[in-house]
Structure 1
Amino acid sequence: MQTQNQGFATSGQEHRVQNFQEMALGLVSTRSFPAIVGTADMMLKTAEVTLVGYEKIGGGHCTAIVRGRTADVRLAVREGAATAESFGELVSSLVIPRPLPNLEAVLPIGLRLQQLTARGYSRLSHQAVGLLETRGFPAMVGAADAMLKAADVQLASYERIGAGLCTVIIRGSVSNVAVAVEAGMYEAERIGELNAVMVIPRPLDDLEQTLPLASCWIEQQQPLQLPLAIKEKEKEKELVQLPDLANLPVPLKEEEIIPRDL
């Protein structure tokens, strides 16, 4: 019996080792936030990987981090790097097979996705995503105003990644997002410098969870209203002494009046 239990333990350990050997991390870095979102979208749609999140280190450098089986991660990183290179924004890419737990614990690539999904908020699901990046905040604000006035879209949030780069993010139908982004491009170029644009028609759930979201879309939890929330102390009422019923006078009965016969 003891030998059989040892056999089960050994089998479980081998299974965990096998899973550990199959897992990998993939990283692709770009010089633009719209480019990294488009790159992440391509990685998710190419292979069976999970998007952990983004890392922004300033100077416009953004990195998308995915995890999954080594073969899937290699495929996703290869296609993601090719996509970023087609945008002219690729900085570097990397595949890390069998990352040690210490690496994931220290670097900001561990449970970020779970933290994001734990937030309760009203998502604009099943809508296209439009991103427009400018160099300079006034150009981004002007472009956002032009996009909202040009089509039926919602301003979801904005992102800053350093080096003066700001990205406005809108949501809506594919046609409305395309019209809005085009209007925003002209306005951004008129005010300042347009850096990059991106339209994602059908974002996957992983991409949805990692996109920044303005606080107005987040559902704020209301505090519980207890039924016995008494703010002021109740004043003590003055006690009134009741009289002794034994000492009360007995009321006399009125004599009955008998009418006389006429």
Structure 2
Amino acid sequence: MSSLQPASPSYTDTSLGLVSTRSYPAAVGVADTMVKASGVHLLGYEKTGSGYCTVVVRGSLADVRLAVAEGKQTAEDFGQLVSWAMLPRPLPNLDAVLPIGHMLAVRIGGGGGRYRHLAAGLLETLGFPVLVAVCDAMLKAADVTLTGYERTGGGLCTAVIRGKVADVVAAIEVGISTAELLGGLQAVMVVPQPLD
């Protein structure tokens, strides 16, 4: 083997990066930022209770360092940063020991298909009744699709919608007004061009 050929990277040559936020919408925005900032792979997220979520990425140390820095900044910009960590060369079985393999793309309706290239909007409420009212208002306000909802503990629920950017923004604005009227608005995030 020539010394000029790079060795193929092994699982243990990669690093893990984690950024924890105070809400699920913030976690989605942070995940999108981290993946777009460098060559990391999104492993998923962990709900840790009371609405807190942690985004988990894997990649080279340099890519993870950049992704975590960008993720932290995004979370700070929204007043949502809780904590962060970088793990160079984690043990190979760390993913098996810690359940950090959930796929975020499934939760936001990504992975290609009919939602490919559509914006994602997330609106978090305190209480399920407020979530139902917000979903109804958003679906009536614009041409968006409700792709699901997420419960993150402490009574926090997040609606996830997809559609064209203008429709998602219009629906989220109506959702904000509805949630504020009912006293249950917690967090909001619009991701104009989420990666699959």
TM-score (norm 2): 0.89
The answer to whether the Cα contact below 8 Å between 1:136 and 1:192 also exists between their aligned partners in 2 is: no
1:137 aligns with 2:128: yes
What do the CA deviations read for 1:21-51 (whole angstroms, capped 9, x no partner)?
A: 6410000001100000001111011111000
Q: Which position in structure 1 is the counterpart of 2:54?
A: 63
Distance 1:121 1:141 in 2: 27
1:89 maps to what in 2? 80
Which of the numbers 149, 166, 169 marks the counterpart of 1:175? 166
Alignment match of 1:51 (pick from 42, 50, 55): 42
The residue identity in structure 1 corresponding to 2:45 is Y
Kindly provide the CA deviation profile for residues 174-215 of structure 1, in whole angstroms up to 9, marking residues without a partner as x: 00000000001101111132011111110101xxxxxxxxxx
Retained in 1: the 8 A contact 2:12–2:91? Answer: no
Equivalent residues in 2 for 1:3-42 (5 A)?
Answer: 15=7, 19=10, 22-42=13-33
Residue 188 (structure 2) pairs with residue 197 (structure 1): yes
Measure how far apart 1:84 and its partner are: 0.3
After superposition, what is the alpha-carbon deviation per residue over 1:87-123, rounded to whole angstroms, capped at 9, x for unaligned? 111100000000111322211135x45xx6xxx9954
Aligned-partner SS, 1:161? strand
Give ranges in structure 2 of 5+ residues lacking alignment: none
**Amino acid corresponding to residue 183 of structure 1 in structure 2:** V
Paired residue type of 1:103: L
Q: 1:247 corresponds to which residue?
A: none
Taking every aligned residue pair, what percent have the same amino acid on both sides?
59
Structure-2 separation of matches of 1:56 and 1:107: 13
Equivalence for 1:104: 95
By relative contact order (CA 8 Å, sep 6+), the higher-ranking structure is 2
Bigger strand fraction = 2
What whole-Å deviation, never above 9, does each CA across 1:101-160 have from its counterpart, x for those lacking one? 1322211135x45xx6xxx99541110000001111111111111100110111110000
Measure the CA separation in 2 of the matches of 1:104 and 1:187.
Answer: 40
The answer for the alignment partner of 2:71 in structure 1 is 80
The alpha-carbon distance between structure 1 residues 153 and 20, as it changes in their structure 2 partners (threshold 3 A), is: closer
Give the whole-Å Cα distance in 2 for the aligned partners of 1:69 and 1:30: 23
Equivalent positions of 1:196-235 (< 5 A) are 196-205=187-196
Q: CA deviation at 1:19?
A: 4.1
Q: Secondary structure at the match of 2:93?
A: helix
Alignment RMSD (CA, Å):
2.2
4+ runs of 1 displaced by more than 6 Å?
none
Sort the Cα spacing of 1:102 and 1:21 in 2 relative to 1 into closer, same or farther, 3 A: closer
Aligned positions, number: 188
